[in-house]
Chains A and B, each alone.
Chain A
Amino acid sequence: GQQVMQIPQYQHVQEGEDFTTYCNSSTTLSNIQWYKQRPGGHPVFLIQLVKSGEVKKQKRLTFQFGEAKKNSSLHITATQTTDVGTYFCAGYTGNQFYFGTGTSLTVIP
């Protein structure tokens, strides 16, 4: 069945360091979305990528969608304590979203 894997599972960084999480799907996706979940909170939509090779930026966050539409990445430049949380990718296909296992980011002040 559909699988979306995400690595790493955990990442601890010093404030100011960069952070990257990677997402890989076993099948081609229609699009991919990224969500952020703060500790104790619920997932909140960040962005959607649709086109092969697409790159989008939101301030210090850069999102990429692979050429084959099977992988994606989220890169945060110069992390801040407000970036703490778990980041999930979600591949959309067949009316369903398949979520990755998430990367929990801890930022050490």
Chain B
Amino acid sequence: NAGVTQTPKFRVLKTGQSMTLLCAQDMNHEYMYWYRQDPGMGLRLIHYSVGEGTTAKGEVPDGYNVSRLKKQNFLLGLESAAPSQTSVYFCASKDPGMNRKLFFGSGTQLSVL
């Protein structure tokens, strides 16, 4: 049981380049989230999805787009990367039970030069 898998683990981009981060979960969870983690700022929500075909904006959505075409996958796109998007990105899915706990992927370290 893999849980939540994120690819790639590391990436270096030049300003203006585009890329897509992939998140896949095998727990049949409806809710999925994309966070970015920066020193001293905790985890900030970028976008989230409450089910296949749905997406919603979080706290810091600007410069990012997402898609949830399949229930198990949640994609995060950067159309034109900026140095301010240098961060560690975490994907998570939510247990639908009473616990509501989040299962996180191992993260993607992104550097934009």
Contact = CB atoms under 8 A, between A and B. Distances in A.
B40 A33 contact: no
A6 B45 CA distance: 17
Range, interface on chain A: 20 to 34
Interface stretch (A54-62, A63-71, A94-102): A94-102
B59 A1 contact: yes
Main secondary structure of the interface of A (DSSP, over half): strand
> How big is chain B's contact interface, by range?
20 to 34
A33 B42 contact: no
B100 A6 contact: no
Given A97-B45, A101-B42, A102-B42, A43 B104 contact: yes
Most buried by B among A35, A43, A95, A102: A43
25 contacts: A6-B42, A31-B100, A33-B101, A41-B106, A42-B104, A42-B107, A43-B92, A43-B102, A43-B104, A44-B104, A45-B102, A45-B103, A48-B100, A48-B101, A90-B102, A95-B50, A96-B45, A96-B48, A98-B45, A98-B59, A99-B43, A99-B44, A101-B41, A101-B42, A102-B42
